[in-house]
């Protein structure tokens, strides 16, 4: 494939944008080469500035659950653009999107719209601290909750990719308020509660950890967190920025009996535009200004474009068959990839829930960050390069989840499996 135009753009971008990119993983430092500069997308496909076509397994890291340029979503956006992009005033669209979210998430009675997942998690932390009168909180190794200072301690995703889970610029006093436990290690959590007694405001957890690949909770883990929080008077916060409306209409919490006190969301609820949200019980959420005394604001929060795209996306997902189609695509791809890796004699572990999955090169079960670190990342990078050359663009890090959309039909899935077979044949 020719990448001359992408290379020229990347070279020019480095003069005015740090590293040439506006989010670190996009730089392709881990996988090598120059990132394709995408020009347009349609359905399951994207095209770069050099004219190369790719099947897209990134999907903007999860939001594009209907694929690129879905006709109805685009129509809603065009209408929103024609009527006004921002007002700094309430709109009926905000109410519509809030109603859809609260109707689907059983633990969410009220919701506040913000502009990103990072805003959602940092606001939820502020609310948890106000509600409990405590400062400390627990998070898990390899879980990423945005780039606010308190969460950049043993973070996942991009921080892991670059080997710097603790970012310079985070004050030591701030980091000291963040308590760390291994994911799926309930005993470690219980030990932290025992050590710090009544100082812990909340436990933040990705119910499926999607920022060290994709790690499922072990049986009893989330239930144990709920019990520990209840016993200590702390809040349990589910970060469903990635899993919300992705693994089911009601998020991962709809697939379990565990109900969090607060939930953070993003990605899918914006239909491809910047958005975030946090919500919970009426009693908790009425602490948020102007109803209550916990301040949080945003000039573009609930902006008409993101609300229009998100509301239409959730409306389409509510139609019969959408999640069945996503499950069919996910199951077909998982099966096909397992067969390809088995035929090539390459050990593989492929965790998946619906249209969210990951491919780890190794046979051992993946339960926490230490297990991910033991996988064959060197071979994974070679596999990534092969897939790119065969027209499939994956997230450029072994620590990122893969995503499918309703546009990934059986033909597209077959082409992904075929590309995997060709890529592996060149490596083994």
Active site residue 82: no
Cβ atoms within 10 Å, residue 212:
31
CA angle 115, 120, 126 (to 5 degrees): 130
Please name the helix (run of DSSP H) or strand (run of DSSP E) that holds residue 98, with its range, or none.
helix 92-104
Q: Which residues pair with 288 in a beta bridge?
A: 294
Catalogue the E-assigned strands of 157-275: 178-181, 200-205, 235-239, 262-266
Contact between 104 and 250 under an 8 Å Cβ cutoff? The reply is yes
State the Cα–Cα distance between residues 297 and 120, nearest whole angstrom.
Answer: 11
Active site residue 374: no
Active site residue 360: no
Ramachandran assignment for 86, one of left (phi > 0), alpha (psi -120 to 50 degrees), beta (any other): beta
Ramachandran assignment for 397, one of left (phi > 0), alpha (psi -120 to 50 degrees), beta (any other): beta
Sorted by sequence, the CB contacts under 8 Å of residue 97 that are 6+ apart come out as 113, 269, 302, 307, 310, 311, 314
State the Cα–Cα distance between residues 213 and 208, nearest whole angstrom.
Answer: 10
Contact between 351 and 378 under an 8 Å Cβ cutoff? The reply is no
Given 139, 267, 371, 399, the catalytic residue: 267
Which residue is associated with the tokens 């046979």? Answer: 363
Given 239, 261, 311, 371, the catalytic residue: 239
State the Cα–Cα distance between residues 188 and 141, nearest whole angstrom.
Answer: 12
Q: Which residues pair with 263 in a beta bridge?
A: 238, 279
Contact between 139 and 212 under an 8 Å Cβ cutoff? The reply is no
Contact between 337 and 331 under an 8 Å Cβ cutoff? The reply is no
Complete DSSP assignment for 235-249: EEEEE-TTTBTTTBT
Which residue is associated with the tokens 């890090």? Answer: 397
Q: Which residues are catalytic?
A: 144, 239, 267
């Amino acid at each position: 494939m020719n990448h001359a135009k992408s290379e020229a753009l990347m070279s020019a971008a480095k003069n005015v944008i740090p590293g040439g990119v506006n989010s670190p993983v996009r730089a392709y430092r881990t996988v090598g080469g120059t990132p394709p500069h995408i020009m347009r997308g349609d359905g399951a496909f994207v095209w770069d500035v050099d004219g190369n076509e790719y099947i897209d397994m990134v999907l903007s890291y999860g939001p594009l659950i209907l694929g690129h340029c879905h006709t109805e979503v685009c129509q809603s956006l065009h209408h929103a653009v024609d009527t006004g992009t921002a007002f700094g005033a309430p709109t009926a669209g905000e109410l519509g999107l809030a109603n859809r979210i609260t109707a689907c998430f059983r633990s969410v009675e009220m919701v506040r719209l913000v502009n990103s997942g990072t805003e959602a998690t940092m606001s939820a932390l502020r609310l948890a601290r106000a509600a409990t009168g405590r400062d400390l909180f627990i998070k898990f190794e390899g879980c990423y909750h945005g780039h606010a200072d308190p969460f950049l301690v043993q973070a996942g995703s991009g921080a892991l990719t670059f080997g710097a889970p603790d970012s310079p610029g985070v004050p030591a006093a701030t980091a000291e308020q963040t308590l760390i436990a291994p994911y799926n290690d309930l005993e470690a959590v219980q030990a932290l509660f025992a050590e710090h007694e009544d100082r812990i405001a909340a436990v933040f957890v990705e119910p499926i950890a999607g920022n060290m690949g994709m790690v499922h909770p072990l049986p009893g883990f989330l239930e144990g967190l709920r019990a520990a929080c209840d016993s200590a008077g702390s809040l349990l916060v589910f970060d469903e920025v990635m899993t919300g409306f992705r693994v089911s209409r009601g998020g991962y919490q709809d697939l379990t009996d565990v109900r969090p006190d607060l939930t953070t969301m993003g990605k899918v609820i914006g239909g491809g535009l910047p958005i975030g949200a946090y919500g919970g019980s009426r009693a908790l959420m009425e602490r948020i200004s102007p109803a209550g005394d916990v301040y949080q604001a945003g000039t573009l929060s609930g902006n008409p474009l993101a609300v229009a795209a998100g509301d239409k996306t959730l409306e389409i997902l509510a139609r019969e068959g959408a999640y069945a189609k996503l499950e069919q695509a996910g199951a077909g791809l998982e099966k096909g990839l397992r067969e390809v890796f088995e035929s090539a004699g390459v050990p593989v572990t492929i965790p998946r829930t619906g249209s969210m999955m990951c491919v780890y090169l190794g046979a051992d079960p993946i339960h926490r960050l230490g297990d991910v670190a033991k996988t064959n990342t060197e071979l994974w990078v070679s596999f990534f390069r092969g897939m790119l050359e065969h027209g499939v663009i994956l997230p450029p890090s072994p620590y990122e989840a893969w995503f499918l959309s309703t546009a990934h039909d059986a033909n597209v899935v077959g082409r992904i499996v075929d590309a995997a077979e060709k890529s592996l044949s060149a490596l083994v």
